[in-house]
Structure 1
């Protein structure tokens, strides 16, 4: 693909710029421990898979965000025979999750290279009460040029309306000069393709084999490789 002088980077937050897996594990272990449940590897892995399946259902508009937040622990505990209060778990988990912000290797370097050359805007499917504190704790709220959380936008990725509403707030936005970066084929890449912008899959574990019907324009295993795609040094100052 011919290199472009990209001027807008729309970057996913969780497991793209911030290590959500690490934050999820921390929050889940603290929550389960407070409820008297041993947070062993089997339980934490099962929850992660269960939670991910709910977010996929949200992407497909099969459930609402409110249903996801309200029922994920009650549903998980019931389906796995865990005797604990799911209603009490939900706010505990969100409280601990909102306190954890671990930057992915290369994220700060990528954003630094873009400064003044490529506008960096965070696009997240999370909830505001969790994501806003994490953005502040990581410093991403200051490092990036803006951030858009689906709960506040009114739509979730991959809904094209999420992108339509987001880019309306970006000064001088041009589709041809925009790149969506994210780790999710079904949310970030599918959404970017539907909206008509170039896409880059962040695939640090090398799981993407190219056989999916959803095909990104670029695939990278580390965030510093995105610098080569954006080539910010070719751009005049914004």
Structure 2
């Protein structure tokens, strides 16, 4: 890992889900389907993920749109319940907005970076969740930049979504931008594709089997705060 001086960075960019916020999809789905009197358990969640996960890979590869992903992942349940898949997706995002909380140490981290770094978010998540959650947590004021893949029609790890973000940032020197995220294949690979410095947030000490090498690796947000102090 690089020991790059913290003074090297002007901007720090974050992923959102599982980097800044808890994202408990199972709890959100249980909350959604309770409205339809469905007892949504582990078996139903496994079935959902068998559809959802491949769709996310297709979305990240640019093979399907955000709208297609959001509707197709609920197509089967839409048929079962006689409800439009888009309505189920919207209900799910609303449920997630209700239950999503910041990860431990995130409020302290953002407060510590305030005024010393310019902060942004690049997320493959969806507008309906991202914006409302930032407002509810009071985090919106910390970030000068919010790039949501659904809005720009590009997804990490595509270099183009980072180019879009950097344009909006006024094209700072790329080596002075740090990308922090929990997913090697999208956040870290995307940051590397764009020539940024990268930091892998790896709280569960996952083994890196992807061969994607971040410049830095942290297990908690206080570690990042110390690196950027």
Whole-angstrom CA distance in 1 between matches of 2:11 and 2:43: 41
Q: Name which of structure 1's ranges 126-135 and 10-19 shifts more when overlaid on structure 2.
A: 126-135
Question: Deviations for 1:78-127, whole angstroms, at most 9, x for unmatched residues?
Answer: 9xxx9334624223212222333300011111111111111111111122
Following superposition, which runs of at least 4 residues in structure 1 exceed 6 angstroms of deviation? Answer: none
Aligned to 1:10: 13
Q: Is the 8 A contact 2:14 2:179 kept in 1?
A: yes
SS in 1 for 2:99: coil
Q: Which residue of the other structure, out of 81, 85, 110, is the alignment partner of 1:84?
A: 81
What 5-or-longer segments of structure 2 have no aligned partner?
Answer: none
Question: Deviations for 1:176-203, whole angstroms, at most 9, x for unmatched residues?
Answer: 1111000111110110010011111111
SS in 1 for 2:168: coil
Q: Which residue of the other structure, out of 23, 27, 32, is the alignment partner of 1:20?
A: 23
What 5-or-longer segments of structure 1 have no aligned partner?
Answer: 232-238
Whole-angstrom CA distance in 1 between matches of 2:83 and 2:52: 13
TM norm structure 1: 0.85
Give runs of aligned pairs for residues 79-228 of structure 1, distance below 5 A.
83-85=80-82, 87=84, 88-171=87-170, 173-207=172-206, 209-228=207-226
Aligned to 1:44: 45
Whole-angstrom CA distance in 1 between matches of 2:204 and 2:46: 17
Whole-angstrom CA distance in 2 between matches of 1:85 and 1:227: 49
Q: Name which of structure 1's ranges 8-17 and 66-75 shifts more when overlaid on structure 2.
A: 66-75
Whole-angstrom CA distance in 1 between matches of 2:39 and 2:52: 18
Question: Deviations for 1:100-159, whole angstroms, at most 9, x for unmatched residues?
Answer: 330001111111111111111111112212211111111111122332211223311111
Whole-angstrom CA distance in 2 between matches of 1:204 and 1:31: 28
Q: Name which of structure 1's ranges 98-107 and 177-186 shifts more when overlaid on structure 2.
A: 98-107
TM norm structure 2: 0.89
Alignment RMSD (CA, Å) = 2.1
Q: Is the 8 A contact 2:48 2:73 kept in 1?
A: no
Cα deviation, residue 172, structure 1: 6.4
Whole-angstrom CA distance in 1 between matches of 2:152 and 2:204: 30
Tell whether 2:72 aligns with 1:71: yes
Aligned to 1:234: none
Whole-angstrom CA distance in 1 between matches of 2:94 and 2:3: 45
Whole-angstrom CA distance in 1 between matches of 2:43 and 2:204: 21
Whole-angstrom CA distance in 2 between matches of 1:227 and 1:122: 17
Aligned length, in residue pairs: 224
